[in-house]
Amino acid sequence: MTAMSGQDSVAAPPSRLAAALSAHGLAVLFIGPAILLVVLVSIYPVFDAMSLSLYATKYAEKAGFVGLKNYIDLAHNPVVWHAGVNSLVYTIGSLLLVLPFSLGVALLLNRQSKMQGVLRTVAILPWVVSQTVTALLWAWLLNADFGPVTYGIDAIGGVRTAILASPTWAMVALVGINVWSSYPQATLLMLAALQTIPRDLYEAAYIDGAGPITSFLYVTIPLIRSTLLVVVIQLTLLYFNMVTLVYVFTGGGPLASTETLALLVLKISFESWNLGQGAALGLIVTVINLVFSLFYIRTLGRPKG
């Protein structure tokens, strides 16, 4: 009897271990490919860039270890600082416009309306258009010689404009089309969040004496707060890393007035063929992205309720 039960207790753990292992094995099998993919396309390149940024390069070849020289050169280059300022103007300017705009559209779409299906489709359209096409489309619309918008302004105001030739207006236009092309994704997320708010809460607030603005501030905003956080992080990263739209629309001009850090990474790496310095700047941009995200999570993501 005793011997039997002793044997049992010895025999039991391995079988449990085997079960745990096989359960584990299945999990590894499922998430393995995803982890492999992330390692290959995200993590490995970062470490590769870290190493590359410490070398002088000749085209795609490493030409000797230079330590932090690439970083020091970047820090002493006024073009980089100028691009940094442009990136901030572009990112913050776009965010300041896109958040109220996309929330406004989401609030409108959230109202009961017979036209809702049509309105939603129209509101989402800019998202369907690729960034390249958006940039080309608006470059054509604003073209100083034959752009319809230029023509319209001339016809109405009698002023011949060259928006893309003015450093200030080029940035304004860039921010504008950026907002136009990116608001739908923010709107969609906000709309989804708005639709999760039960109508009862608004009725309770109404009975409690809240008008539309009070309801918005005390019910809507707090309840879509976590979605707002996601939207802000997503858009900040999108804007800060934006290359396509800027590259095709203005190419960074006129007079480098729309040249952002992300665009500069591309230019240093593949126009000046200084891959080492490009990698260094790329890493700096990555770190700035991280700092942005952490800042948002700290300030907006404070759990409340």
Residues at the contact surface with other proteins, assessed by CB under 8 A? 198, 200-201, 203-210, 214, 218-219, 222-223, 225, 304-305
Q: Is 18 left (phi over 0), alpha (psi -120 to 50) or beta?
A: alpha
Cβ neighbours around 125 below 10 Å, total = 10
Cβ neighbours around 300 below 10 Å, total = 14
Residue (67 or 305) nearer to other proteins, CB: 305
Residue (14 or 209) nearer to other proteins, CB: 209
Q: Closest approach of Cβ 6 to other proteins, in Å?
A: 47
Q: Closest approach of Cβ 189 to other proteins, in Å?
A: 19
Helix count (H) and strand count (E) of the chain?
14, 2
Comparing CA positions, the residue from 90, 125, 134 lying closest to residue 105 is 125
Residue (79 or 204) nearer to other proteins, CB: 204
DSSP at 129: S
Residue 231's Cβ-side half-sphere holds a number of Cα atoms within 13 Å equal to 27
Q: Closest approach of Cβ 207 to other proteins, in Å?
A: 4
Residue (165 or 221) nearer to other proteins, CB: 221
> E strands within the chain?
55-58, 61-65
Q: Closest approach of Cβ 60 to other proteins, in Å?
A: 53
Strands 55-58 and 61-65: antiparallel
Q: Closest approach of Cβ 219 to other proteins, in Å?
A: 7
**Residue appearing with tokens 């300022």:** 85
Q: Closest approach of Cβ 106 to other proteins, in Å?
A: 19
Judge if the upstream peptide bond of residue 254 is cis by omega within 30 degrees of 0. Answer: yes
Residue (92 or 223) nearer to other proteins, CB: 223
Residue (189 or 219) nearer to other proteins, CB: 219
